[in-house]
Amino acid sequence: MSFLENSQRLKVNTTKRFLTYDNGEPFFYLGDTAWELFHRLTRNEADLYLQDRASKGFTVIQAVALAELDGLTVSNPYGEFPLIDKDPTKVNEKYFEHVDYIIQKAASLGLFTGLLPTWGDKWNKKWGAGPEIFTVENARLYGIWIANRYKNYPIIWILGGDRPIETENHKEVICAMAEGIRSVTGNTQLMTFHPMGDHTSSEVFHNDLWLDFNMFQSGHVTRNLPNYKFTLNDYHKTPTKPVLDGEPRYEDHPVNWRIENGYFDDFDIRQAAYWSMLSGACGHTYGNHNIWQFWQIDRKPISAARTSWNEALKHPGASQLGYMRQLFESRPWQLLLPDQTIVGLIDSQIGHVKAALASDGSFAFVYVPNGESITMNMTRLSSQQLVAWWYNPKTGIATSIGKVFGQNFRMFKAPGELFRSNDWVLVIDDYTRGFGVPGIKL
């Protein structure tokens, strides 16, 4: 059965900044890192996970066929291994029937699978379990095989898997796998590359024709990491390609992998998301440290995981990124351009205020991370008749500031006091456009 109808095909839009369906409808890439999904969950557990993510507004589930955590030597819940003799040209049909089920279930819920054919330790061990099994020749053959299996499903191909390109052979292996996939799918499914932390796909593959959009990993090193610099760096490259943060700091992950530094919380999640989106990203990926590995108490935790995965589904960051998607989709968000010039004076420098303005001047979004007061240059909007709102990214609720007429500059004070995590989004609209309440879809 084919799940890939015309309305489910994706392409890069004409501006080369965003993704759309074939029918022209904008596609908001809201991903979740579920790297061990195929390897560690039963079908009933996968159903629970996918239903939760669909209900929260996610659109892409990022998961790995040949998983990182002993994916070749530890079976899935049904006792199956993905390969015979660890040979990527000898696949185990029973293992991939389980993968089929999960991809089909995701599709039935309106979710794309961001499918990594393999984790990176299988072509550059560097660290982790490995072993390295890919050559240029078998990478192409494996690419052909897996593409034939999933060419009729809503798939976004994500090559790489958190390992660096350190040799020419590494690059040739990735390109061979990409070419194998493309030889089957043509341009009917999008493709990108998931790099290691503090790196972006553009460093090696930006000019490769198979790379449809750039993905970077801002990683888990520190709070307040300016991931928007990665976004802007790729945003300004030529040729123009969409870009997104495919692995930012995870909710409930120890800062820099050290529990004495504390754990990233939902504010860290929101901050990274809005910083990147208002710098021109085509979407964003959420991550929860317990969910990517599907940790539970009978498993050895990776990097101090401390919450069972089904409890971690309730962590607030995931729902809050769903609210972010609702905010963007309540306006023609593909018109947004990163633009710091609309922000004048800021009464505090404890956080970075990030702003974007629609190309036609019809609306602006400004992310205020800590309750700052800001002075806005209102002349950049398309009308002197304006209406303003404060959107709460924690709750998805907008509060009207009211109409604003004929002012060149105006100060806006965020609700509450000045402190970390008192974050808000200032929304300013051309009143004549009648956009309505932020967060309620057009």
Same domain, 410 and 316: no
Contact predicate 101/74, CB 8 Å: no
Query: What secondary structure, in 3-state letters, does 175-193 show?
Result: HHHHHHHHHHHCCCCCEEE
Domain presence at residue 409: yes
- What pairing do the DSSP bridges indicate for beta strands 29-33 and 60-64? parallel
Counting the structural domains of the chain, the total is: 2
Residues 163-199: tens digit of each pLDDT = 999 999 999 999 999 999 999 999 999 999 999 999 9
Cα 202 to Cα 213: distance, rounded to the nearest angstrom: 9
Instruction: Name residue, tokens 């057009």.
Output: 442
The residue range of the domain holding 406 is 333-433
pTM above 0.75, yes or no: yes
CATH code (residue 387) = 2.60.40
Domain presence at residue 439: no
Q: How is residue 320 annotated by DSSP?
A: H
Cα 120 to Cα 127: distance, rounded to the nearest angstrom: 10
Domain presence at residue 158: yes
Contact predicate 283/28, CB 8 Å: yes
Provide the pLDDT for residue 347: 61
Same domain, 267 and 392: no
Residue partners of 137: CB distance under 8 A and separation at least 6:
176
Q: Which of 301, 329, 357 is the last residue of a domain?
A: 329
Q: How far apart are the first and last CA of the chain?
A: 33
Domain presence at residue 206: yes
Residue 159 identity (one-letter amino acid) = L
Same domain, 384 and 259: no
Instruction: Name residue, tokens 């303005």.
Output: 357
Same domain, 67 and 177: yes
Give, for all 442 residues of the chain, the pLDDT tens digit. 455 554 579 999 999 999 999 999 999 999 999 999 999 999 999 999 999 999 999 999 999 999 999 999 999 999 999 999 999 999 999 999 999 999 999 999 999 999 999 999 999 999 999 999 999 999 999 999 999 999 999 999 999 999 999 999 999 999 999 999 999 999 999 999 999 999 999 999 999 999 999 999 999 999 999 999 999 999 999 999 999 999 999 999 999 999 999 999 999 999 999 999 999 999 999 999 999 999 999 999 999 999 999 999 999 999 999 999 999 999 999 999 999 999 986 665 667 999 999 999 999 999 999 999 999 999 999 999 999 999 999 999 999 999 998 788 999 999 999 999 999 999 999 999 999 999 987 6
Cα 220 to Cα 252: distance, rounded to the nearest angstrom: 11
Cα 7 to Cα 320: distance, rounded to the nearest angstrom: 27
Residue 433 identity (one-letter amino acid) = R
Query: Quick one: CA torsion of 70, 75, 77, 80, rounded to 10 degrees?
Result: 150
Q: How is residue 208 annotated by DSSP?
A: -
Same domain, 56 and 76: yes
Same domain, 282 and 356: no
Same domain, 355 and 261: no
**Cβ atoms < 10 Å from Cβ of 349:** 9
Cα 74 to Cα 95: distance, rounded to the nearest angstrom: 12
Same domain, 218 and 345: no
Q: Which of 276, 297, 329 is the last residue of a domain?
A: 329
CATH code (residue 275) = 3.20.20.80
Domain presence at residue 1: no
Same domain, 324 and 346: no
Instruction: Name residue, tokens 């109409």.
Output: 403
Total residue length of the chain: 442
Contact predicate 366/355, CB 8 Å: yes
Same domain, 120 and 50: yes
**Cβ atoms < 10 Å from Cβ of 222:** 14
Provide the pLDDT for residue 344: 81
Contact predicate 209/230, CB 8 Å: no
Domain presence at residue 441: no
Burial of residue 169 (number of CB atoms within 10 Å: 0-12, 13-18, 19+): middle
Domain presence at residue 55: yes
Provide the pLDDT for residue 293: 98
Same domain, 349 and 251: no
Provide the pLDDT for residue 351: 77
Provide the pLDDT for residue 1: 40
Percent of the chain's residues with pLDDT above 90: 94
Contact predicate 232/338, CB 8 Å: yes
Domain presence at residue 414: yes
Same domain, 277 and 381: no
